[in-house]
Amino acid sequence: MGVLLKSAGFSWGLVLAVAVTAPTVAGAAEAVRPIAKSMAGPACRCPQIAIERYYENADIVLVGRADRLTPVEATDAAAHLEVEFTPLFRAGPFKGSIEGLVLATPVGTASCGVEVQPGESYIIFATIADPDEPRRAWFDSCSGSRLYAGGPRANEIEPFVGLPTNRIVPRLFELSDSTLAPQQPPGSAFHTSPACWSEVRIVHQGSPPDVLRDSIRIHWIPDAAPDTGGTASPNGAYRAWTDYRPEGEGRGAGGFVLVHVERPRRLRIAAAGSRAAPGTEWINEKLLFIRMVWGRVQFTDLIVDVERGAVLYEEAARYAAEAFDQFREACIGQCPCLALPGRTGELPSPPESRPADGDTDSVTGLIDALAYLDEDWDGRVFTEPGGLAYTVSGLHGTLGREDVPADVLEVRLTVSGWWLHVALYAVSTCSDPEATPVHAGWVPAFSTEGRPVASTWSGGC
């Protein structure tokens, strides 16, 4: 396995975490198993509903990485698992606040609990079920909570009713603010949006989850490694060997590194439960870069001073194939950098918003009228008139129609032309007077060909 220290990725953005009141249990995933066995029963069954209803029913909505798991065997309640999540987007939760909040899910198939694994990402719809416990919110599969990005478990991701997987996050951004466009484009957990990458990257995620950090052990052992093979340090004085012991071959299963440092003892760096031999590369005469492999997606990167047996750097890393695919198909994150998939050398320009000759009058009369955006609208909704920051509405071209119901809130002439401040609806207010907007912002009043993108229903309701 060739590993380059210069490769791939930067740290995650702002880290928000759920406070966990119970002490952390090392190896939490393993500790949950006996509880789960005691809760065995009929499989959970609940009807699937649209993501909009899950969102409406929940007090907390977030997409986050499970970083810390604490199993709880309560005497006055069902066994459950408390989970600390790090949101994947700088904007934080899509609904509610997780500050000081405990998120918990039942354990056992009969209780509809979510099978949470450390390091994997989940869509969480949580509800504060007990007014006497306002700092605890519960989530389960019936609330809509499910795996979001699981690497080898990607085939287990369950889509929402009528919503492709690559539209989940854009739809949550739309639902998170139904009246005003965000002042900034949706945040991204990456240094640059995966929409701008030319190929899949490995990205760094900050500190590894405790369950992975606790699985790495560094200690000295008697000098028992071979004197040949391995990789020599730049001055030829030290030598490093990597190996892997599969499960079932006794204690110490996992990948490990042995380092000879001209002493009677050798340094051993082992990752219990890892799935392959680590990747190594000498940085200089005594610093060794190590990539521990937990699977096809999750890694831990270390820089070790082999003379002292000390870790100088430790960070989680992830092969971001899912993000690369999803961001290329939907505008998530730093959208101004998205020109064409795979190209990074230019910024997109907003469509021309100047009218063809004689069409200026078409922007008048739109305010407070029953209006819609037609096929000349390109689907982008900008955060300000004439700006570069935009989102792509899930209403565009996905509902099997050309007309999208809209309220025109304001018409403004800028140096770049005429712009409309709009609120967009999934259904017409004629068919549902109680309908609320699902996306809002600014759109150019005219297409690149000079045709108006908005019209009014001539006959009214």
- How many whole angstroms separate alpha carbon 35 and alpha carbon 155? 26
Q: Look at residues 423, 424, 409 and name the one whose alpha carbon lies nearest to residue 363.
A: 409
User: Is 163 exposed, middle or buried (CB count within 10 Å of its CB: 0-12, 13-18, 19+)?
Assistant: middle
CA angle 105, 150, 193 (to 5 degrees): 110
According to DSSP, the residues that pair with 443 across neighbouring strands are: 420
d(Cα 425, Cα 434) in Å, to the nearest integer?
11
Count other C-beta atoms under 10 Å from residue 303's C-beta: 16
The whole-angstrom separation of Cα 98 and Cα 103 is 8
CA 381 – CA 446 distance, rounded (Å) = 13
User: Do residues 82 and 151 make contact, with C-beta atoms less than 8 angstroms apart?
Assistant: no
The contacts of residue 240 (CB under 8 Å, 6+ apart) are 230, 231, 233, 257, 258, 259, 260, 280, 282, 288, 306
Contact between 317 and 299 (Cβ < 8 Å): yes
Query: What pLDDT, on the 0 to 100 scale, is given for residue 14?
Result: 30
Please give the backbone phi and psi of residue 286, each rounded to the nearest 5 degrees, phi first. -135, -5
Question: What is the predicted pLDDT for the residue at 417?
Answer: 84
Beta bridge partners of 301: 291, 315
Q: What is the pLDDT of residue 399?
A: 47
pLDDT in tens, the chain (461 residues): 333 333 333 233 333 333 333 333 333 333 333 333 333 445 677 888 888 889 989 999 999 889 889 988 866 557 889 999 988 876 678 899 998 899 999 987 678 889 898 888 899 999 998 888 888 999 999 999 999 875 566 667 788 877 777 678 877 877 876 433 333 333 456 776 676 676 788 988 888 888 899 999 999 998 765 667 889 999 999 999 999 988 766 667 899 999 999 888 999 999 998 999 999 999 999 999 999 999 888 999 999 999 999 999 999 999 988 877 766 555 443 343 333 332 333 445 666 677 776 666 667 778 878 888 988 888 888 878 887 767 777 676 654 456 888 889 888 888 778 899 888 887 888 878 877 777 778 889 988 788 888 988 766 67
What are the CA-CA distances from residue 257 to residues 174, 185, 217 (Å)?
48, 44, 11
Q: How far is CA 136 from CA 99, 143, 158, 220, in A?
A: 11, 15, 26, 44
In order of 329, 338, 340, 345, the CA distances from 349 in angstroms are: 19, 10, 12, 13
Q: Is 227 left (phi over 0), alpha (psi -120 to 50) or beta?
A: alpha
Nearest CA to 68 out of 16, 124, 29, 111 is that of 29
In 10 A of CB 458, how many CB atoms?
6
Q: Which of 358, 456, 452 is nearest to 407 (CA)?
A: 456
Q: Count other C-beta atoms under 10 Å from residue 331's C-beta.
A: 25
Place of tokens 């698992």: 81
> Whose structure tokens read 């092969």?
319
In this structure, the dihedral spanned by the alpha carbons of residues 98, 313, 297 and 167, taken in order and rounded to 10 degrees, is 40
